[in-house]
Amino acid sequence: MAKVVFRSSGKTLEDLNEIKSFLEQYDILYDNWGTERLPEDLKKDYNVTQEMQEAIIKAYEKELNELKEKKGYVTEDIVVLSEKTPNLEDLLEKFKKEHHHVDDEVRFVVDGSGVFPIKIDGEIVDIYVEEGDLIVVPAGARHWFELDEQRKIKCIRVFKTPEGWEAIYEEECKAE
């Protein structure tokens, strides 16, 4: 279920529409496309073949095309993190560091779950995502990513260029 938690006050939003309109003010797009349309193996199997990747993307073609047209994204792929991922701990350490990107970070969660803490008006807001959820972290927004106790996530990633979502870690935004 959709959930947003303000770290300092503990205030929690759980209503999808309330979350959407709150985040919209900060250009953070949050939505739920559901996963009912996906057969179980496309969700649960983390050894994603090229064929499976294409089938997952095909299942969301309409939504993806609308999003790409609206935001200027050009391509997509599938990304997974799980206990099977080599160097999982190293990767998680890296994702846990505050950063931003030159382009938007777009994730649609096919399976598993995680948290995107994002700095909004200097406050840390935890945006929880799970299967069926779409999140667009806008270019420049300081954020990081953590897995939860499920320890796995499988996402469609949408982007303009691979270079655009390289993480920028320097804390140059502190002066703001």
133 is an interface residue for Fe ion by CB under 5 A: no
Of 123, 118, 145, 148, the residue nearest 29 (C-alpha): 118
Smallest gap from residue 138 Cβ to Fe ion (A): 11
* Nearest approach, Cβ of residue 105 and Fe ion (Å): 5
In the complex, least distance from residue 93 CB atom to Fe ion, rounded to whole angstroms = 14
What's the CA gap between 1 and 127, in Å, rounded?
A: 11
CB nearer Fe ion, residue 30 or residue 59: 30
Nearer to Fe ion, 103 or 105 (CB): 105
C-alpha Rg value of the chain to the nearest Å? 16
Q: What b/e readout covers 43-82, taking b as 16+ CB neighbours within 10 angstroms?
A: eeebebeeeebeebbebbeeebeebbeeeebeebebebbb
Residue in this structure with the two tokens 């209503």, named with its chain if needed: 15
Identity of the residue, 105 or 133, whose beta carbon is nearer to Fe ion in the bound complex: 105
Window 10-39: contact mask with Fe ion (x via CB under 5 A): ------------------------------
Residue among 59 and 125 whose Cβ is closer to Fe ion: 125
- Which residues, 88 to 107, sit near Fe ion by CB under 5 A? 105
- Give the closest residue to 122 by CA, choosing from 176, 56, 79: 176
**Footprint of Fe ion on this chain (CB under 5 A)?**
105
